[in-house]
Structures are given as C-alpha cells and as structure tokens.
C-alpha cells in the first residue's frame, strides 16, 4: 500500500563464486550476514539518513552469493528486511 517498488532488494546480474557449490555462476540469491547486537562487532545504528551507505561497507557485514535459490535456501536466515532500513 503506497510502498514504492524500487525498495525491493535487487540482485544485479553478476557472476560470483557460489558459497555452497563453489561454481562461478550468475548470482541468483544472496545472503547478508548482519552481526547481531551484542556480538563482537560494533554495529552502527541504522537510520534513514545513513541508508545510502552500502551494507557491504558496514563493519562485520558479510554477503554470500549463491548460484540458485536451492544453494542459498538451506539454513537461509534473513535477519532483517529492507523495511528495517527504510521507515
Ligand atoms: Zn551453487
């Protein structure tokens, strides 16, 4: 309801090594690993004014690339949604 469609996460057509099967294929799925509060990492607080910052530049954040949903599906855990950043 009134939510712009450009807020949806988009995976660009890039080729990366799949974190599951190790093949370098078109990335179909990604998993962001966001450190939880209370971890060893210092996590900056998120607010709308900092959403321009690339997530991959946030200390402690890792991204895994998968060649398919199947490769990325097992144990997939999304610790946040885009809406956590944009409110
Ligand atoms: Zn794979």
Angle made by CA atoms 10, 42, 18, in degrees to the nearest 5:
35
Does residue 14 carry a pLDDT above 60?
yes
Centre of ligand 1 from the C-alpha of residue 45, in Å: 33
Centre of ligand 1 from the C-alpha of residue 54, in Å: 25
Ion ligand 1: residue ranges with CB closer than 5 A: 18, 20-21, 67, 71
Confidence of residue 3 (pLDDT cuts 50, 70, 90): low
What is the tens place of the pLDDT at every residue in 22-47? 999 999 888 888 777 655 555 555 55
Centre of ligand 1 from the C-alpha of residue 28, in Å: 9
Per the model's pLDDT, the better-predicted residue between 7 and 43 turns out to be 7
Does residue 76 carry a pLDDT above 70?
no
pLDDT of residue 18: 94
Centre of ligand 1 from the C-alpha of residue 72, in Å: 7
What does the mean pLDDT of the chain come to?
Answer: 72
Tokens matching residue 12: 């660009």
The CA distance from 24 to 43, in Å, is: 31
């Amino acid at each position: 309801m009134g939510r712009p469609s450009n807020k949806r996460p988009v995976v660009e057509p890039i080729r990366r090594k799949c974190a599951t099967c190790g093949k370098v294929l078109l990335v179909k799925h990604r998993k962001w690993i966001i450190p939880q509060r209370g971890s060893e990492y210092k996590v900056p607080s998120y607010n709308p004014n900092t959403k321009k910052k690339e997530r991959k530049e946030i200390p402690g954040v890792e991204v895994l690339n998968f060649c398919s949903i199947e490769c990325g599906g097992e144990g997939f855990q999304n610790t946040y949604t885009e809406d956590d950043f944009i409110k």
